[in-house]
Structure 1
């Protein structure tokens, strides 16, 4: 049996089932997740270790061979379950260091990997003092968070008090199931505390998708976001870079060192790297799981491998075989954020598919659906992929199509106006 923890979706679960494997999904009580062909076990929260302990008792003689997740919120409980069931995989220590941004940056700094100066604080009231020590402006975020949820740039102490007065710091509107990691409480009452970082002035932001098997590199795939993530009010997207380019080599080397510092031997990593306007590369953070959004679909488009099939290979104890396409014209991904409310109109999918360079488009909101709006870098209106003769043209075409993808909403009583 393969046990998979997830707050929303687990693409490798269906792949395992299609391979004839028995799968048990562990999901939050609040998540509307069900699957006719898969068994489901519900827990109230990801830190409800009493419930997880009972699960280990129930699974003792069930022939469990793997406990996996592609959900950052689930890395620590998955590691804890593996330790109790005596299964291989990411250790508890690495899972905690890979989700606690303070511990993560301590490890990276000790490994002489460049990171932004930061301070960890237990409560929101202590942000101004930490910012005074670091120097304004600062970025404040959850110490244990996801998808940049609640992350905010503050230019001055006045900005801090104004944001607090306007209840910017929480509670937060989140998709169903995310409350299992207490992300709905926001920064005001965050149980894991907060991070205050110096605000770097960025020229670009990158991500690197990493996969390893028993210490060997399966792939390292560097890409560049359409803009630094804090500067993407309407559209988020990415394009993979030619692996021989100077910027690709720079960020790939940093990603390898970052994965080493976190002790990654087998599994995925998603490393984010920032380029400052001074020309310095700085590691933002690492997630010890596949990159989110549609980055894995972009890997499939650009490089010809299916990461979630490789995730299924890992669960089955197989070395993942990834035969990457030769270098080809770049393909970019972009997606617009939808406003909150009841969806009353959406640009026809055919109109998006007819735009220059578009090779695929996927609609995620339809008329009659309820949109919770932007949640950090997550929850969007649809996804579009476009190609071009170089990375810049591909990204421009994808972004143009995403901007054209309009979603009209009316305010719903169940969606707060500030969501």
Structure 2
């Protein structure tokens, strides 16, 4: 019986991976932190044979803990769907002699500064990028006109569009800078404090979902993305497979393969975000050494009949992978977002699941605090729509979205200190001593 060790079992992609491994007769262990483990659902706990608790914020200790545990349980494969843990995964696999990615370049699939240095070395077409340590460096970029509006500011090690801002004029610079310095890493992991400044690329956004085994890459599909306009670009829809002219597809795949090589992906999934410019050029924005999140793995199953979870397991175990599509359908996910800041009062008009609508999920509870989404983690829920072709599915999805009403009530305003009754000195002293 193969023994699989998963770096973090929380989240929908990890849960699907665990369920697939157990259904295949594998023994599954997980590595996580104590606070995350406490939130594991009972059904997930029941699928796991064992669990190691470590501190991901201490990389050297975590590496030692995971390698020691893997030896003890006789792990045949180690893998993750968590972007924050991909550098650790590469080091673990190298230490154990298991299929994995190049540990010397694994940080470049997480850290945007290292990523774009790697892109430059490998000739990847990418936005002009500056790494900025402080506001004075940003000012010098402006005064020397090395960067012009609009441009993008983002954290070096963020994820899920957190802290990413499109800056259109000088008035937006200060807030964008602060946003790029605000995101925190999962598990209390320290992040690179540098800020990335990039040229803004006009075009249509896609991602390419790929699987590499022993250095040979198969592109599963391209995903068309629906993204909000304005300063913060939140992904509100993913649709696949995107059909592109053959010459465009070839150009995209060429750039994606350069990006995969640049960050040392040898065994595992990759999710590459690209912009297709109006002249059909391809610009690589960034890459992750993981399967695409935001329901993309599930869409691949619905539309193409490919089991991405089994493919990930086979790759990690060194088994041959079968990536032949068994369906010729189309699938989309549409995400729900809040229209304003406040408390979620109600969500009406959600469709029921059934043929063509396999998933409807509200992740935010009624009464929870919500705000206009500025990053992917601010989405309230989603629905998945499937069908035989893009036009049919997209029309159905838009119709269903139009039926949904999200009611958000504003938070009560905080009392204004000017409206409070003034206290006499004795009263003020008593108040302070409470």
Residue 310 of structure 2 aligns with which residue?
Answer: 309
1:179 Cα offset (Å): 4.2
Secondary structure of 2:93's counterpart equals helix
Indicate if the aligned counterparts of 1:223 and 1:248 stay in contact, CA closer than 8 A: no
Q: CA RMSD in A?
A: 3.2
Residue 14 of structure 1 aligns with which residue?
Answer: 19
Q: Distance in 2 between matches of 1:282 and 1:112?
A: 11
Q: Tell me whether 1:134 sits opposite 2:142 in the alignment.
A: no
Q: Distance in 2 between matches of 1:159 and 1:366?
A: 30
1:65 Cα offset (Å): 1.9
1:361 Cα offset (Å): 3.0
- Structure 2, unaligned runs of 5 or more: 413-434
Indicate if the aligned counterparts of 1:28 and 1:180 stay in contact, CA closer than 8 A: no
Within 5 A, what are the aligned runs for 1:113-124? 113-123=124-134
Q: Distance in 1 between matches of 2:75 and 2:63?
A: 15
1:69 Cα offset (Å): 0.6
* Change in 2 beyond 3 A, CA 1:378/1:62: same
Q: Tell me whether 1:236 sits opposite 2:237 in the alignment.
A: yes
Indicate if the aligned counterparts of 1:349 and 1:361 stay in contact, CA closer than 8 A: no
1:314 Cα offset (Å): 2.1
**1:361-408, Cα deviation, whole Å (9 max, x unpaired):** 321336547466546223533332335675355334324433543443
Residue 185 of structure 1 aligns with which residue?
Answer: none
**Max Rg structure:** 2
Q: Distance in 2 between matches of 1:316 and 1:45?
A: 24
* Match among 82, 96, 114 for residue 85 of structure 1: 96
* Match among 359, 384, 399 for residue 357 of structure 2: 359
Q: Distance in 1 between matches of 2:127 and 2:200?
A: 8
Indicate if the aligned counterparts of 2:344 and 2:369 stay in contact, CA closer than 8 A: yes
Indicate if the aligned counterparts of 2:341 and 2:408 stay in contact, CA closer than 8 A: yes
* Change in 2 beyond 3 A, CA 1:20/1:125: farther
The aligned length equals: 396
* Match among 34, 40, 45 for residue 33 of structure 1: 40
TM-score by length of 1: 0.82
Residue 416 of structure 1 aligns with which residue?
Answer: none
Q: Distance in 1 between matches of 2:331 and 2:176?
A: 38
* Change in 2 beyond 3 A, CA 1:42/1:124: farther
1:156 Cα offset (Å): 3.2
* Change in 2 beyond 3 A, CA 1:55/1:113: closer
TM-score by length of 2: 0.79
Residue 430 of structure 2 aligns with which residue?
Answer: none
* Change in 2 beyond 3 A, CA 1:306/1:406: farther
- Structure 1, unaligned runs of 5 or more: 183-189, 414-419
Secondary structure of 1:350's counterpart equals coil
**1:12-33, Cα deviation, whole Å (9 max, x unpaired):** 1222223232222112333223
Greater alpha carbon shift after TM alignment, 293-302 vs 231-240:
231-240
Residue 331 of structure 1 aligns with which residue?
Answer: 331
